[in-house]
Every structure is written in structure tokens, then in C-alpha cells.
């Protein structure tokens, strides 16, 4: 079997959507691809509401192994998924890009975080199935 692809979920601050995508990638698709998250800038911590949403909905504690990172802090990847931040992400030659166009739930209700997590879950599962073909 081919080695697993490395997927980077990229957002501006690497504190919310990209962190949830990394966690859900590990949770639902770890046998197909390795998940990383990174930002073009970083905040000191992962968004508290994102942490609570992942604990409540998936029993995932993102604080165990995840922390905000820059693109330069992760290994070379095969696939870059941008979260919909309207940011000019660096171009990496030979890498597949896809934008998921997700609105940032930061500052909104926990229900908005849950909706965002559900969308990310479906997109992660879709990516997994496409990579298995």
C-alpha cells in the first residue's frame, strides 16, 4: 500500500476551524491520511469554544496533542485544505489545494461551532473516500 498522504488544514490563526479539522481528520480518517493544522499567523491558544465543541460532540480533547502552529512548523504535505479564510496561502509546488469555504464561528454561539464541526466532519469523510479511490 502507498504511504499515507499528509494533509494540512490551514487557517489564518490556526485556533479554530483548522484545529477542528485536524482533530476530525485524526478521528475519522487516520488510516487514510495524516492530519496537520497550521496557520499563516498564530494565536497563543486553541479557541476555547472549539475545544468544548470537540469534547461535547466527539469526546476529543484537542489540548492533549494539538497546539497552534505555523506552516513552517509542520512536515511537508501532499494536500493543503484552506478553511475559507480569504487568505493568500503560500503556494507549494506539486501540492493539491482545496478550499472548504467555512465561515469562522469565533465569537458566535456554541451551536454555530457544532454546525461548523458537522460540516468539517462530512468534508473530512468525503476527502477520505476520495483518497481511497
User: Is 1 a residue whose pLDDT tops 50?
Assistant: no
What letter does residue 31 receive in the DSSP assignment?
A: T
More confident of the two residues 22 and 2: 22
Say what the pLDDT of residue 133 is.
80
Q: Which CATH architecture has domain 5-132?
A: 3-Layer(aba) Sandwich (3.40)
Grid coordinates representing 5?
Answer: 498522504
Three-state SS sequence of 83-124 = CCCCCCCCCCCCCEEEECCCCCCCCCCHHHHHHHHHHHHHHH
pLDDT tens per residue, range 39-84: 888 899 999 999 999 999 999 999 999 999 998 899 999 999 989 8
pLDDT at 90: 61
Each domain of the chain, given as residue ranges in start order, spans: 5-132
Amino acid at each position: 500500500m502507498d504511504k499515507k498522504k499528509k494533509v494540512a488544514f490551514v487557517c489564518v490563526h490556526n485556533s479554530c476551524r483548522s484545529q477542528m479539522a485536524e482533530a476530525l481528520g485524526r478521528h475519522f480518517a487516520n488510516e487514510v491520511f495524516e492530519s496537520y493544522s497550521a496557520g499563516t499567523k498564530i494565536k497563543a491558544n486553541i479557541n476555547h469554544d472549539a475545544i468544548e465543541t470537540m469534547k461535547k460532540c466527539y469526546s476529543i480533547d484537542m489540548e492533549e496533542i494539538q497546539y497552534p502552529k505555523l506552516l513552517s512548523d509542520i512536515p511537508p504535505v501532499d494536500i493543503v485544505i484552506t478553511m475559507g479564510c480569504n487568505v493568500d496561502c503560500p503556494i507549494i509546488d506539486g501540492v493539491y489545494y482545496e478550499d472548504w469555504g467555512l465561515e469562522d464561528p469565533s465569537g458566535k454561539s456554541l451551536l454555530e461551532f457544532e454546525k461548523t464541526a458537522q460540516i468539517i466532519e462530512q468534508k473530512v469523510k468525503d476527502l477520505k473516500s476520495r483518497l481511497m479511490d
